[in-house]
Structures are given as structure tokens and as C-alpha cells.
Amino acid sequence: MSNCSEKQFRNTHLLHDKELADKSEATLKDIVASEKDFLDNLGEEIRRDTREMEQQISFPNMTANIMNKIEADKSLVAVMLDYFKSNSLAFGGLAACLIIFVLALNLKNEILEQDSVVATDTPINTCIIDSIENKNSTSLVLKEEKKEDPVTIIWVFENTDTEKM
Amino acid sequence: MKHFLTTITAILILITMGLVNSSMASAEQVEIVVKVVHASKNGNEVHDNVKELYSRLSKMFDFTSYKMLLNVKEKGDYSQKQIITLPNNQKLILTPIEKDKDFHIKVEMEIEGVIKTDFRLKDGGTIILGGTKHKDGVLILVIKITEL
């Protein structure tokens, strides 16, 4: 009995241990499967987010566009340089024409300004409109500049008067 | 016929008014105002009665001192000479000659030995004659001519 009981006891224990082991294995498998699902989902989520970020930011595209523009500008500059090199005479002629035009404008302005030239020894802000010669003196007829109602001034320079105003 | 007579009467009235007006014009008098200012570079004094002129004169002349020496007002007929003795004893002679169709007054002006000329001036207009020496500066004459 005792042997049988001992054997039976051992069998019972072994069975119990096996059941426990089976249960543990099943539990572990469940846990692993669950973790695997979680990791799979997490990985998928990360990949999706990465794709969305790439689409939104699209740095590679921007860089490519800028590079394309720079290349295009470089091409344009190169074309212009080629043109100026091959047409240096025409370009020089054009520049000369521009310089002459600017000089002519300046000259025209100077000529126009000469209408209101004021002698250094006459009243300021006036222009000479006439002169009167007399026996002992010379007089200048002056008019105020830039006035709506200019006053006419006759300024007498006596022949003995060498003093400047 | 009545309309014709009315027209003739109106024309006669207009002619009469024109004749009266022209005869009145020939009787107009002329007022001449002469302000004599002594301008110099000696000092910074500007007389109160010259300040009205100073704002204008100071933009044209570089003098620092302005003193009113004389303020004369004369009335007379056209062709009548107006003689004004200046502080430097020279005599300024102004003679208004006529008023032309543009309402400008023709004036003869003379300072013996210095200037003799004539000019046309808008009625009520001003002309400045300057440059004659006086003491340490010059005389500036501000001449205003108005038909009364």
C-alpha cells in the first residue's frame, strides 16, 4: 500500500507538475503572441507615421527644386556671358549710346539752368532780365526767382564802385 | 420798328458811358509811395517799420542791417514829375506817363548821373531800386505806384 500509495503519489505529483508546465507554456505562448501583435502594430504605426511625415515635409523635393533653379540660372548666366563675348562690339556700342544719352540729359539740364544764372555780385535768388547803361553807372534789371508775384529790382553799379555786395 | 429803336437807344447809351469813362480816366491821379531803406553789413539792427520788407529783402540781399530813413507818399496827375530828395542828396524823379490797355502804368525814373530809364508796372505794383552808395552801405528804394 505504501509502495502503491507512494507510486500513486509520485504519479499524481508528476501529473500535477505536467499540468502546471503545460499551463505555463500556454500562458507564455499567449504572452509572446500578444507581445508580437503589439510589436507588429507598433512597427506598422511607426512606418505609417514616417511615410506621412515624409510626404508633409518633402525636403528632398524642395532641395531638388532649388537645385534645378540654380542650374537654370547658371545656364542663363552662361548664355548671357556667351552672348556678351560673341557680341562685345554691339554691347560696347550700346553702353556708349547709354553714356552719351546720360551726358546729353545733363547738358540739357545745364542749359536750362543757365536761364536763371545769377552773377556773383548781384542779389541772390534773382535772375537778370535786362541791363541799363548810363553815363556813370550800369544797372541790372533783376527779377525774383520762384515767386508767383516776383518783384522787379533795378540794381545800380556805380562806375567807381568796385566793392562786391 | 419798336425793337429797332430800342437797339439804337441801347447802343447810344453804351457809347455815352464809354466816353464818360474815358474822360474820367484821363483825370485819374497817381499815388507814388517811396520807402528809402539804408542797408549795410554793419550791425544786425532791423527797424520795426522795415520788418514787413525785411522778410522779402533778406532773401535777396545779404545785408545784416536795415534801417528806414524815409517814407514819402506823393500824389499827382499823369505826366506830373514827382521829385524826392534822397538821404545822400541825390534826387529821384518819377513821372507816371500813362496807363495802357493792359492796366500797366508806364513810369519814367531818373536819378541824375546814376540812372535814367522807364518801366511799365502793374497798377499797385512795386519796384525796387538799389545799389546807390550811402555811408557804409547802400540805399534801397521801394517804389509803389497806384492809380487812385
Q: Cβ separation of B114 and A137 shorter than 8 Å?
A: yes
Q: Cβ separation of A152 and B119 shorter than 8 Å?
A: yes
Mark whether A99 and A128 lie in a shared domain.
no
CB contacts < 8 A, A to B, total 67
Residue A68 lies in a domain: no
Is residue A117 predicted with pLDDT exceeding 60? no
Residue A12 lies in a domain: yes
Range of B122's domain? Answer: 28-147
Average predicted confidence (pLDDT) for chain A: 69
Residues 95-134 of B with CB under 8 A from A: 111, 113-117, 119, 121, 126-133
Residue B67 lies in a domain: yes
> What is the average pLDDT across B56-63?
80
Chain A residues whose CB is inside 8 A of the B61 CB are 123-124, 165
A22 contacts: CB under 8 Å, gap ≥ 6? none
Domain final residue pick, A83, A101, A116: A116
Residue B94 lies in a domain: yes
> What is the average pLDDT across A90-105?
64
Residue A65 lies in a domain: no
Residue B5 lies in a domain: no
Measured between alpha carbons, how far is B48 from B119 in angstroms, rounded to an integer?
30
How many Cβ atoms from other residues are within 10 Å of residue B67's Cβ?
A: 16
Q: Is A34 left (phi over 0), alpha (psi -120 to 50) or beta?
A: alpha
Residue A105 lies in a domain: yes
Chain B residues whose CB is inside 8 A of the A158 CB are 114, 131-133
Q: Cβ separation of A158 and B133 shorter than 8 Å?
A: yes
Cell numbers found for residue B102: 493792359
A157 touches chain B (CB under 8 A): yes
Looking at residue B140, its pLDDT comes to 92
Measured between alpha carbons, how far is A24 from A31 in angstroms, rounded to an integer?
10
Residues 62-101 of B with CB under 8 A from A: 62
Minimum CA–CA partner of B144 in chain A = A151
Mark whether A52 and A23 lie in a shared domain.
yes
| Domain count of the fold of chain A | 3
> What is the average pLDDT across B30-45?
92
Q: Are B110 and B90 in contact (CB under 8 A)?
A: no
Mark whether A79 and A107 lie in a shared domain.
yes
Residue B9 lies in a domain: no
Cell numbers found for residue A67: 537645385
Residue A131 lies in a domain: yes
Residue A62 lies in a domain: no
Residue B39 lies in a domain: yes
- B72-122 pLDDT, tens digit each: 999 999 999 999 999 999 999 999 999 988 889 999 999 988 899 999 998
ipTM of the complex in this document: 0.77
Q: Are B39 and B138 in contact (CB under 8 A)?
A: yes
Residue B23 lies in a domain: no
Query: Which one has a higher pLDDT value, B28 or A63?
Result: B28
Q: Cβ separation of B132 and A154 shorter than 8 Å?
A: no
Looking at residue B68, its pLDDT comes to 92
| Domain count of the fold of chain B | 1
Range of A19's domain? Answer: 2-57
Residues 127-156 of A with CB under 8 A from B: 132, 134-137, 139, 144, 151-156
Cα–Cα nearest to A151, from B144, B99, B26:
B144
> What is the average pLDDT across B61-79?
91
Looking at residue A165, its pLDDT comes to 42
Q: Which helix (H) or strand (E) holds B51?
A: helix B51-57
Looking at residue A49, its pLDDT comes to 80
Is residue A132 predicted with pLDDT exceeding 60? yes
- A2-48 pLDDT, tens digit each: 455 667 767 777 777 778 788 888 888 888 888 888 888 888 888 88
Chain B residues whose CB is inside 8 A of the A157 CB are 131
Longest dimension (CA), chain A: 174
Mark whether A129 and A84 lie in a shared domain.
no
